[in-house]
Amino acid sequence: MSKRKREISRRQFLEGTGAVLAVATAGPALKGQLSSASPPVTDSAASGAPSTAIRLVVNGTEHRLDVEDRWTLAEVLRDHLGLTGTKIGCDRGECGACTVLLDGRPVYSCSNLAVWADGREVQTVEGLAQGEQLDPLQQAFVEHDGPQCGFCTSGQLMSAKGLLTRNPRPTPHEVRSAMTGNICRCSNYNRYVEAVLAAAAAGGATTPKRGSGRSAQSAKPSAAVAATKSRRGTTIAAASAGGVR
Amino acid sequence: MSRPPILTPRKTVGNPTPRIDAIERVTGKATYSGDIHLPGMLYGRILRSPHAHARIRQIDVSKALALSGVKSVLTHENCTVVWGAGSISGGRQYADEIKKITRHKRYVFSNPVRFFGEPVAAVAATSRHIAEEALRLITVDYETLAFVLDQEEALRPESVKIWPEGNISLDANNEAEPEVYRRGNVEEGFRKAAFVFEDRYTTTYVQNAQMEPRVCVASWVGDKLTLYTPTQGTSNCRHDMARDLGIPDEKVRVICQYMGGGFGNKNQNQDADLIAAVLAKEVGAPVKLELSRKEDFIGVHGRWPTTQYYKVGVSRDGVLQALQLRGYSGMGPYRKNSGAIGGIELYQCPNVESSVYPVYTNRAVSGNYRAPEFPQGFFGIESMMDDVAHKMEMDPVEFVLKNMTRKSNDEAPYSNYTLEDCIHRGAEAFEWKKRWHAPGATPGAIKRGAGMSFMTIRSPLGQSSAVLRLDSNSRYTVFVGVTDIGAGAKTTMAMIAAEALEVPLSKIDVVWGDTDRCPFSVGESGSRTTDMTGTAVIEAARDLKRQIAEKGLPKGQDALIASASPKPTSEGKVRKSFGAHFVEVEVDTELGRVGVLKYVAVHDSGRILNPLTATSQIKGGATQGIGMALHEDLLYDRRTGQPLTAGYYGARIMTHLDAPEIEVIFIESDDGYGPFGAKCIGEAGIVHAVAVVGNAIFNAIGRRMKDLPITRDKILGALA
């Protein structure tokens, strides 16, 4: 089993998995668990496929993992870290259900290989609330009936989080532009936009929390914010992230 | 103009209420079927046909079986399970007799394969990647056969016969007959009419595209199967699984806690459920079978494409004299639903005739998608009537008010009737008189136009069940076999229970989505859950209150248990929900682009139990309808029979940037039936949303767009 770092292009990755690539799922039975402690890495690379040792900081907790090079970030979060809040709707960068923040920037975790995230910081929906205290975005999503079936909700939340971090007072059009890479087939788009605007109006931006408990968990919060500042539109960021290597 | 009173909110129902499980949904804690992981679980994958129609000469699975980690491979040679709900049904899936007699059986692995994407083999392996590798090691020798994709073409004598009896889909009696409805005498009506108009409309296959692709975890303990699967009806799914596998119902447990939408895609059981169950039995371990987005798109089902020919006769003053529809619905190679085309019921007319032919094709199978037969039919007939109004030089709203239904099929009374109020209220809120103008009248390249459409949709009553338990700690637990597809059934049931029991919502717990813990429920299809299971909850609450009055509140280890399985009727009256949509669009006549500027949706769905979630339902339905009107499609390569646009990008599903603000207005009513007077809502928003966009485009550009979707190229072509 190879432990060296390998360069895997998006093309090879897609060719290898294309037609039959399907939903990556697993995690502990009947609960999506929070990663307050690093759970044991089950099902680690064992099939004889090339693998690589990586280090991920997920929701402020460091994980050292031996991952198969073909595993996507979404797959590792869901199957091997038990963070099943991240959903996989298409597994090919079309729907945004799997959106997470990678160094503060929204990306499609289905279109990023786990090895590409080596040494980087990941935030998932499980890392939004502070204990029982919901993030203002989560609170607004509840009050405005954002989630209908709820399957796209984690992705919508993470895109919105990325947006409010770099633009605390977006216009409705800026919200739609930033989140248009997140499809909601229940089509509750009006509600999601309302909710993000309400969270922004309520001070839902991350600004007040910087330097508090959250940034203490974060390996490099200021760098994460800086990385997103110059970007316009989550869609572009998220959609192109898989190809940026 | 009369304005019906808005119903006063009661203690719980009628108040905007966040979902009782909203926190689980925003924190990632809600457990969907794909989140289930069982010890020792294997992964399943399906190999699908790369041909639209082919006979399998030989399948060689030896290399796949030899791959380390592969535990089992199924093909048509070693698995002959017949999927009852996958064919024949004509919308009558629950009748076991039909499965016994049908000549057109749908095997989970079929030979010949009749559409691109039909399952050919399935693999169980220790990881999903190994299962995928194994699929690539299966070699199949196909003899390709001629195929046909279009429903009208399929009826030509020279077209390949997909089944020996020909290409008209057999009904539940094994007969190749169209669905026919008649009243009066259309020939006489046309003779009497001052004007007769004829036209043809077509609609395409659009897919449910619910966010959660199909996934199933099957686990056998002894001879009992537990299935974690997203299903819009645990009770129906259990029964279908038991019947198809030849085991008693009680040997199947179906669990569906959270589910990522369905819109009809997840009714009953699916072939994936059967395949997972057989694989799990074969290998003696739990199996998780996952479908990719593409597989979900072409391998499950979508809305049936249609071709509709209308002939309409009107008197000199614009009153309908005769109405005729000849329609063809493309079912794919199995008849998974009726293939009906709704719409003629919208109009009052003495002479009506409708013949609709469900036709086999070699496309993806057609089945339920939110209001199965309505959006495509309403697009056809409401475009047709809008055109008739135009030719008669009438305001379309005036034409509708003159000709719309007043009684069901002009004879049976509705349980209440607010269609006229919906139209007046919508016209007023939308400022119809100000926005509607002569077609194509806006000067310049960017043209604005206004359209309207209206609807009625069934809101039947029927049997369902509920159990209520009261403990000494004053917690009320509602046991209902509902699954929460996204409409909020769990919250609605809790609200109904709180209202009926006269206790705060916070005192209610709900146990749902598990056939071992919950009684029968109708299933989350046909917009029935609130009406049917909600009525059962009210009846159970009545029983519980009676028990409390007799025995007092339970103390210590006592508990009170109440239950109900009511079978209410509307006493000969026809229950329907009503609605009217108004839209203003902007059409760029140089680029063909359509933008929605204003959208007003007025609905009477009886009493609105939870205005927060009800509004979301209407917004979502209307938005899906706009997508179907403007861009959603599944294109096929006519040379190879292969689908080209499966998936969100290809099929052009609505996004944040596409979605306009939908203004929702409820006209509430209480017809004395259903839970506190609630009526159908889940499908109500989509049914006329397609038609209204087409009519507004006509008003903008003065060209009638007759073929869905109304894409830019078609608009530019019409203007050229």
- For chain B, domains (ranges, CATH) are 22-30+462-564 (3.30.365.10), 33-145+215-290 (3.90.1170.50), 306-460+572-719 (3.30.365.10)
pLDDT, average across residues A218-239: 31
ipTM for the whole complex: 0.96
pLDDT of A133 > 70? The answer is: yes
B293 contact partners, CB below 8 Å, separation of at least 6 = A89, A90, A91, A92, A94, A95, B213, B646, B647, B648
What count of CB pairs under 8 Å joins A to B? Answer: 234
- Closest by CA to B150, choosing from B377, B326, B303, B360, is B360
Chain B residue numbers with beta carbons less than 8 Å from the beta carbon of A191 are: 616, 619
Confidence of residue A8 (pLDDT cuts 50, 70, 90): very low
Q: What share of chain B is helix, strand, coil (3-state, %, to 5)?
A: 30, 25, 45
pLDDT at B101: 84
pLDDT of A24 > 90? The answer is: no
What count of other Cβ atoms lies within 10 Å of the Cβ of residue B180?
10
* Region of residue B631 (phi > 0: left; psi between -120 and 50: alpha; otherwise: beta): alpha
Tokens of B367: 């089945």
- Closest by CA to A242, choosing from A125, A69, A113, is A113
CB within 8 Å: B127 and A157: no
Which residue among B28, B31, B215 places its CB closest to the CB of A23? B215
Chain B nearest-CA distance from A82, in A, is 9
Which residue among B26, B126, B260 places its CB closest to the CB of A138? B26
Q: How many residues does chain A have?
A: 245
Tokens of B61: 């699975």
What's A85's DSSP letter? T
In A, minimum Cα distance to B132 occurs at A20
* Region of residue B392 (phi > 0: left; psi between -120 and 50: alpha; otherwise: beta): alpha
pLDDT at B300: 95
Which span out of A24-38, A222-236, B568-582 was modeled with the highest average pLDDT? B568-582
Chain B residue numbers with beta carbons less than 8 Å from the beta carbon of A80 are: none
- Closest by CA to A29, choosing from B274, B217, B259, B514, is B217
Confidence of residue B197 (pLDDT cuts 50, 70, 90): very high
Which residue among B128, B135, B212 places its CB closest to the CB of A151? B212
User: How many angstroms separate the CA atoms of A19 and A12, rounded?
Assistant: 13
The residue whose two tokens read 């119902």 is B249
Tokens of B250: 């009680």
Query: Which SS3 state, helix, strand or coil, does residue B702 take?
Result: coil
The CA distances from residue B519 to A196, A239, B545, in Å, are 39, 45, 20
User: How many angstroms separate the CA atoms of B690 and B383, rounded?
Assistant: 10
What average pLDDT does the structure give for chain A?
Answer: 75
CB within 8 Å: A92 and B31: no
- Closest by CA to A100, choosing from A79, A81, A128, is A128
User: How many angstroms separate the CA atoms of B676 and B672, rounded?
Assistant: 7
% of residues, chain B, pLDDT over 90 = 93
Q: DSSP string of B94-128?
A: T-HHHHHH-SS--BSS-SSB-STT-EEEEEEESSH
Tokens of B588: 């760029």
Chain B residue numbers with beta carbons less than 8 Å from the beta carbon of A114 are: none
Please name the helix (run of DSSP H) or strand (run of DSSP E) that holds residue B75, with its range, or none: strand B70-75
pLDDT of B249 > 80? The answer is: yes
Residue pair A205/A135 in contact by the 8 Å Cβ criterion? no
CB within 8 Å: B35 and A25: yes
Query: Which SS3 state, helix, strand or coil, does residue B129 take?
Result: helix
Chain A nearest-CA distance from B699, in A, is 26
Q: DSSP string of A147-200?
A: -SS-TTHHHHHHHHHHHHHH-SS--HHHHHHHHTTS--TT--HHHHHHHHHHHH
CB within 8 Å: B292 and A22: yes
Reported as half-sphere exposure (CB side, CA atoms, 13 A), residue A93 has a value of: 21
Give B334-388 pLDDT, tens digit per residue. 999 999 999 999 999 999 999 999 999 999 999 999 999 999 999 999 999 999 9
Tokens of A168: 């605390």
Chain B residue numbers with beta carbons less than 8 Å from the beta carbon of A44 are: none
pLDDT at B4: 54
What average pLDDT does the structure give for chain B?
Answer: 96
Q: DSSP string of B413-460?
A: PBSS--HHHHHHHHHHHHTHHHH--STT-S-SSEEEEEEEEEEEEE--
Which residue among B29, B38, B656 places its CB closest to the CB of A180? B656
- The architecture that CATH gives domain A136-235 is Orthogonal Bundle (1.10)
Which residue among B208, B259, B620 places its CB closest to the CB of A187? B620
In A, minimum Cα distance to B261 occurs at A149
The CA distances from residue B653 to A105, A186, B274, B583, in Å, are 25, 11, 29, 20
User: How many angstroms separate the CA atoms of B270 and B283, rounded?
Assistant: 21
In A, minimum Cα distance to B135 occurs at A20
CB within 8 Å: A26 and B69: no
pLDDT, average across residues B149-166: 97
CB within 8 Å: B259 and A90: no
Confidence of residue B18 (pLDDT cuts 50, 70, 90): very high
pLDDT at B6: 66
Which residue among A94, A186, A190 places its CB closest to the CB of B662? A190
Confidence of residue A44 (pLDDT cuts 50, 70, 90): low
pLDDT at B172: 84
pLDDT of B98 > 90? The answer is: no
pLDDT of B609 > 90? The answer is: yes
Domain ranges across chain A: 136-235
